[in-house]
Chain A
């Protein structure tokens, strides 16, 4: 499915030229005439990226940006400013806009920036998945077993040295088995970390990041 872009500008010629250019670059493009219209369009169908003019009647680009960041956090915004008003553009970046372009917009540069934004957004999501998966491995396959081992050792230390030798041996054997499994998981995680570092140095694609996100899951499945 093509990424959806919403172009928001009160000037018809600009809306049309950006729509033509982005469509020819393969995006699914819709247009809105001002901030209020943009909000209505987003309610009907969310967008991946919104191109927002700063100065518009009714609801300004800044107001619309604020609304979009709060209501559609997954929608990225690129601001369009008709005047080289860098202070407003920087204010927008602080509010969560990802980029800004000064009009007249170089449409080739615009397409490059939109593509780059979508790519980095995919990468960020993939990395977030990686982080979630790694946290799951650490929590479920390392910290939980560690707590179990601590419990076993506490229990073993309470047993009298003579009478409960059999029970003590059973607890220590179980603890030993758990440490073996943990060692195996830690080794797998070490290998993955090395691969991730290699991948980062080589500047590999987001596909590698997705694979990295899948590997911790496979570590967990190995165990199950």
Chain B
């Protein structure tokens, strides 16, 4: 695929530029096939990265694991922004092999995008289910775009399972469960970052990810009514679906 460099590596370069002229840059390199994070963090691991330090309530890792893989992945980034406030204005530029994204935004919004990649490629067993999404990473995505990417990724997985003779989950029941577990990790991680940071940029970046996780469950429960009209070309000759309670779905309202 053309988004990889000649060595088969997917790269994302995040650059944060501040009003005072300061800049911070982070390079993320992922294995083009496995989407493993290739960067090795050889810096000394801070205390807050220990697994037992504010361990997530659903952490499946055994006691023999000394450090939380997400925390280790995030440590350099967290350290760089620990004294920054979430509402600081920043111009965030994201470069990939295919295109460049640029947005004047709040620091928390820019950070949430990059933290999302670090978390889902960390080898945390809970976050692993979100790993395919990193291949289709969309910086600064809004909620509906993220929900769509997430659901698309999950449905692709179901299609591939079906091809291998497994029962696909078209009801998205498993996706709800994934995000329930992911949100416990987001919650645990925000508590961990709270203790690791002087100001709130890092924490609030995770809070944004947590909101996505919360929102998607309600989005699925609503029967995707927010985006249903966009699929009218497929649905126009079919009668409106009737929900389990026997009530027809109401027309969608403006989500934001």
Q: By DSSP majority rule, is chain B's interface helix, strand, loop, or mixed?
A: helix
Give the segment of B17-25, B26-34, B218-226 that binds chain A.
B218-226
Give the segment of A11-19, A38-46, A63-71, A119-127 that binds chain B.
A11-19
Q: Which residues of A contact B203 (CB under 8 A)?
A: 82-83, 103
Complex Cα distance A24/B211, Å? 16
The 8 Å CB contact of B143, one of A16, A82, A103, is A16
Size band of the interface chain B makes with A: 20 to 34
Please tell me if B35 contacts chain A, counting CB pairs below 8 Å: no
Q: Which residues of A contact B153 (CB under 8 A)?
A: none
Q: Are A20 and B86 touching (Cβ within 8 A)?
A: no
Q: Are A13 and B204 touching (Cβ within 8 A)?
A: no
The 8 Å CB contact of B187, one of A13, A16, A104, is A104
Q: Which residues of B contact A31 (CB under 8 A)?
A: 256
Closest to B189 in A: A104
* Residues of chain B from 164 to 223 with CB closer than 8 A to chain A in the complex: 183, 186-187, 190, 194, 199-200, 203-204, 206-208, 210-212, 214-215, 218-219, 221-222
Please tell me if A26 contacts chain B, counting CB pairs below 8 Å: no
Q: Which residues of B contact A55 (CB under 8 A)?
A: 85-87, 200
Complex Cα distance A15/B211, Å? 8
Q: Which residues of B contact A24 (CB under 8 A)?
A: 218, 221-222
Q: Are B200 and A11 touching (Cβ within 8 A)?
A: no
Closest chain-B Cβ to A179's Cβ sits at a distance in Å of 63
Q: Are B218 and A82 touching (Cβ within 8 A)?
A: no
Known A21-B214, A55-B87, A57-B87; judge A14-B207 contact (CB<8 A): yes
Q: Are B214 and A17 touching (Cβ within 8 A)?
A: yes
Q: Are A16 and B211 touching (Cβ within 8 A)?
A: yes
Please tell me if B41 contacts chain A, counting CB pairs below 8 Å: no
Complex Cα distance A161/B256, Å? 86
Closest to B203 in A: A83
Please tell me if B142 contacts chain A, counting CB pairs below 8 Å: yes
* Residues of chain B from 46 to 103 with CB closer than 8 A to chain A in the complex: 85-87
The 8 Å CB contact of B215, one of A20, A82, A85, A103, is A20
Q: Are B211 and A21 touching (Cβ within 8 A)?
A: no
Please tell me if A207 contacts chain B, counting CB pairs below 8 Å: no
Known A55-B86, A103-B204, A104-B207; judge A83-B221 contact (CB<8 A): no
Closest to B195 in A: A84
Among A20, A31, A57, chain B packs the most CB atoms within 10 A around the CB of: A20
Please tell me if B108 contacts chain A, counting CB pairs below 8 Å: yes
Q: Which residues of B contact A84 (CB under 8 A)?
A: 194
Q: Are B218 and A11 touching (Cβ within 8 A)?
A: no
Complex Cα distance A82/B206, Å? 10
Please tell me if A107 contacts chain B, counting CB pairs below 8 Å: yes
The 8 Å CB contact of B214, one of A10, A57, A107, is A107
Closest chain-B Cβ to A63's Cβ sits at a distance in Å of 14
A13-B146, A107-B214 known, 16 other contacts, Cβ within 8 Å:
A11-B108, A11-B109, A11-B211, A12-B256, A13-B215, A16-B143, A17-B211, A20-B219, A20-B222, A24-B222, A83-B194, A83-B204, A103-B207, A104-B187, A104-B190, A104-B210
Q: List 20 A-B contacts (CB under 8 A).
A: A10-B87, A12-B142, A12-B143, A16-B143, A17-B215, A20-B214, A20-B215, A21-B214, A21-B218, A24-B218, A24-B222, A55-B87, A56-B87, A82-B204, A83-B86, A83-B200, A85-B200, A103-B190, A104-B186, A104-B190
List A residues at the B interface (Cβ < 8 Å).
10-21, 24, 31, 55-57, 82-85, 103-104, 107
What 6 pairs across the A-B complex have the smallest Cβ distances? A20-B218, A17-B215, A104-B210, A83-B200, A13-B211, A17-B214
